[in-house]
Structures are given as C-alpha cells and as structure tokens.
Amino acid sequence: MTMSPRLRRLGLIVHVTSSVGWVGAVAAFLALALIGMTSQDPRTVRGVYLVMEPAAWYALVPFACAALITGIVQSLGTPWGLFRHYWILFKLLINAVATTVLLIYMGTFKSMAETAADPEASLSSVRNFSPVLHSVLALVVLLLAMILAVYKPRGVTPYGLRKQHGRRESVSQPVAMPVPRP
C-alpha cells in the first residue's frame, strides 16, 4: 500500500527527526562518557554514571525505536519497498542491530549506576570505558545508515528484480477489450 504524498512527507519528517535525534543523543552520551573518564571531581564522575541509565531510557531508546519503526513504515508505504533495494535492507539491519545492542546494553547502564551510587566504591571502579567505545561505534554505524539514505547506492535485490519485471510485463501487455455481444 502506497501512502499519499502528504502522509509520505509527514512520515519522512518523523523518520528523519527521530534518526537525527538518535545520532544527537548518542553524541551527548559520548560527551558524558568522556567527562566520566576524564573528570577529576568524584561527584561529577559519579553523577555522569548515575544519569546515563535514565537518560538512555528517555532519549536513546525512544529515538532508536522511533527510527526503526518509522523507517519500516516509510519503506512499506513508498515505492522503495522494504525488500527491493540492498541499501534499505542494510539500513534496516543497522537499525535493528543497533537498537537490539542498545536494549541489551541497558543492563550495563544500570550496573554502572549502581556502582556509582555506592559511596564505598573507589573512583577507579566507577569509571568505565565501555560507554565511550559503544558511543563511538554507534555513531559510526548510524552515520553509515545516513550515508546510505542520502546516496542510495544501486543494487536491487532478487525480490526487487522480480517486482520490476512483473510491473513491466503488466504495463507492456495489451489490455484485452471486451467484445460486445449482439
């Protein structure tokens, strides 16, 4: 089912906004992670790791899920289709894997917050390089998805080829006109 042009533009706005929001939230998490790794103030370090879990639930997870869902809706509601072009499949794979990794990683955020909340924990045990690494990797894959969306490299899947051939055959075959009966 193809969406109307107005609905397609609205869907595109929501998809781009959620995707860019996800990239921005990841960049903010990278900044927080770097502050947590480099700050000499123990309260700042503990505060960074305490804020990561709730901020991830309120920013990262909603943007990730919205980008994934709106991307699927956009592809199903437009002539691009979900399985017709490799670049769309790669974007879907990137989004699905990144969202899954994020949801699994939420347990790590919780663990880091629990360690940071413990006043007996040393500052070296509170610091964790993992958010820096995950943020950098997330930025790389999300920017790759954006590059795919802008450049739309050629490459039609076998399913897309069948759909194209089916469309051409239906257009090129003459339409049988009904013969009036006497």
Length of the chain: 182
Q: How confident is the model at residue 55 (pLDDT cuts 50, 70, 90)?
A: very high
Q: How far apart are CA 172 and CA 113, in angstroms?
A: 64
CB atoms within 10 A of CB 20: 14
pLDDT at residue 63 above 60?
yes
Q: Which residue has the higher pLDDT, 4 or 163?
A: 4
Q: Do residues 152 and 87 lie in contact, with contact meaning Cβ atoms separated by under 8 Å?
A: yes
pLDDT, position 160: 79
pLDDT, position 174: 55
pLDDT, position 166: 74
pLDDT, position 148: 92
Mean pLDDT computed over 15-22: 97
pLDDT, position 136: 98
pLDDT in tens, 30-40: 999 999 999 99
pLDDT, position 156: 86
pLDDT in tens, 105-121: 999 999 999 999 999 99
pLDDT in tens, 128-179: 999 999 999 999 999 999 999 999 888 888 887 887 777 666 555 555 545 5
Mean pLDDT estimate for the chain: 90
169 token code pair:
């055959």
Angle, CA 65 vertex, CA 70 and CA 24 arms, to 5°: 95
DSSP assigned state of 174? P
